[in-house]
């Protein structure tokens, strides 16, 4: 049996529709594992939403977005660097097929190199923010614009802000310098609705907002994960179980429940450390479990609550501890709490 993602298609789409209807300048972000839905499927949704442009993380993701049926412009968020064969191949293919690709440029030297090698390419210039990831410093804005002059078409400035804190002033200052160097649209991430409104009032250019998580995963109850029980073993005190032959954790005995889903599905990607959290340890100890400090809470719910791992998850299965007396049987479907951006289910079922 399998670890399955169930999508309530109507609920999922009505959330997407609401996000886009609220702001037609939204740029859907499609990257990584496709926020749990897959890149191609999200590309199909972006087409359904009639988005004019989407953003991908890497050059290698452009092909999946095309395969998914999106024909509009695709912005590549990872900045161009010299000599990356995957990027160059993608740009060659885009040039041959005439499909619209916009590259991000974050260094003056790269603008110069691209102007030489790919005249006519559309680019977005990236501004360095307090994230300190990549981007041009304000004193470089004019040099970058000069490097592009007449050869690369600057279609915007990108400002990628940290997730936490108040960044409206930072965004305003950077945007003001950027627009002074070249009057082009702004593409921003991680401003809330109110901040975005203020920035739009302050700036003389279009401000587009890139959205991934909120667009695809913001609809509550639009998706859930299930797994199934493959085996149940009644065990008593003193028995040893699993790869690591650990002693049964409850002196009263209980049940080792084998469930579908392991590390390859992204189960427990947030590292279930042997230490677990203090709260988890206390819960485990209060429940009469031995060696509570070695137990980690699993994402699998059996009998209405999350259960502890017997040992770290295996590649495609996990062993969880369920006290005696809790009803559980082979074939039971159980809920799993997964972080969609790191999940790789066996199947995605649109319901």
> Smallest distance from the beta carbon of 187 to ligand PLP, in angstroms?
8
Q: Which residue number is nearest to ligand PLP in terms of Cβ?
A: 212
Report in angstroms how near the CB of residue 311 gets to ligand PLP at its nearest. Answer: 33
CB of 42 to ligand PLP, least distance (A): 12
Cβ nearer to ligand PLP, comparing 96 with 270: 270
The distance of closest approach from Cβ of residue 180 to ligand PLP in the complex, given in angstroms and rounded to an integer, is: 22
Rank residues 70 and 300 by Cβ distance to ligand PLP and give the closer one.
Answer: 70
Q: In the complex, what is the shortest distance from the CB of residue 158 to ligand PLP, in angstroms, rounded to a whole number?
A: 7
Residue 211 vs 310, nearer CB to ligand PLP: 211
Footprint of ligand PLP on this chain (CB under 6 A)? 29, 31, 77, 160, 189, 210-214
Q: Which C-beta is closer to ligand PLP: that of 54 or that of 77?
A: 77
**Among all chains, which residue has been given the structure tokens 């990257």?**
31
Token pair of 245 as six digits:
């032959």
Nearer to ligand PLP, 30 or 317 (CB): 30
Q: Which two tokens stand for residue 187?
A: 């593409």
Query: How far apart, in whole angstroms, are the C-alpha atoms of residue 285 and residue 249?
Result: 10
Beta bridge partners of 75: 55, 102
CA 229 – CA 24 distance, rounded (Å) = 44
């Amino acid at each position: 049996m399998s670890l399955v993602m169930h999508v309530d298609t109507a609920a999922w789409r009505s959330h997407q529709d609401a996000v886009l209807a609220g702001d037609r300048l939204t740029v859907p972000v499609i990257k990584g594992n496709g926020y749990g839905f897959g890149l191609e499927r999200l590309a199909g949704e972006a087409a359904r939403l009639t988005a004019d442009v989407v953003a991908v993380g890497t050059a290698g993701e452009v092909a999946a977005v095309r395969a998914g049926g999106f024909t509009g412009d695709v912005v590549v968020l990872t900045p161009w660097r010299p000599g990356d064969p995957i990027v160059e191949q993608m740009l060659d293919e885009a040039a041959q097929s005439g499909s619209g690709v916009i590259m991000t440029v974050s260094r003056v030297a790269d603008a110069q190199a691209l102007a030489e090698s790919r005249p006519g390419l559309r680019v977005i210039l990236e501004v360095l923010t307090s994230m300190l990831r990549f981007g041009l410093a304000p004193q470089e804005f004019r040099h970058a614009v000069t490097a592009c002059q007449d050869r690369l078409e600057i279609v915007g400035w990108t400002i990628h802000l940290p997730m936490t804190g108040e960044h409206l002033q930072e965004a305003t200052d950077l945007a003001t310098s950027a627009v002074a160097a070249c009057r082009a649209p702004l593409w921003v991430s991680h401003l809330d609705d109110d901040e975005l409104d203020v920035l739009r009032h302050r700036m003389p250019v279009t401000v587009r907002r890139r959205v991934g998580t909120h667009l695809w995963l913001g609809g509550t109850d639009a998706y859930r994960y299930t797994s199934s029980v493959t085996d149940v073993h009644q065990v008593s005190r003193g028995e040893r179980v699993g790869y690591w032959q650990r002693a049964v954790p409850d002196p009263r005995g209980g049940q080792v429940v084998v469930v579908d889903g392991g590390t390859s599905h992204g189960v427990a990607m947030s590292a279930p450390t042997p230490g677990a959290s203090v709260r988890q340890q206390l819960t485990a100890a209060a429940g009469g479990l031995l060696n509570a400090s070695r137990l980690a809470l699993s994402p699998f719910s059996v009998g209405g609550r999350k259960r502890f791992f017997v040992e770290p998850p295996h590649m495609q299965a996990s062993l969880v501890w369920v006290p005696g007396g809790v009803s559980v049987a082979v074939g039971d479907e159980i809920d799993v709490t997964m972080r969609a951006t790191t999940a790789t289910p066996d199947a995605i079922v649109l319901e």
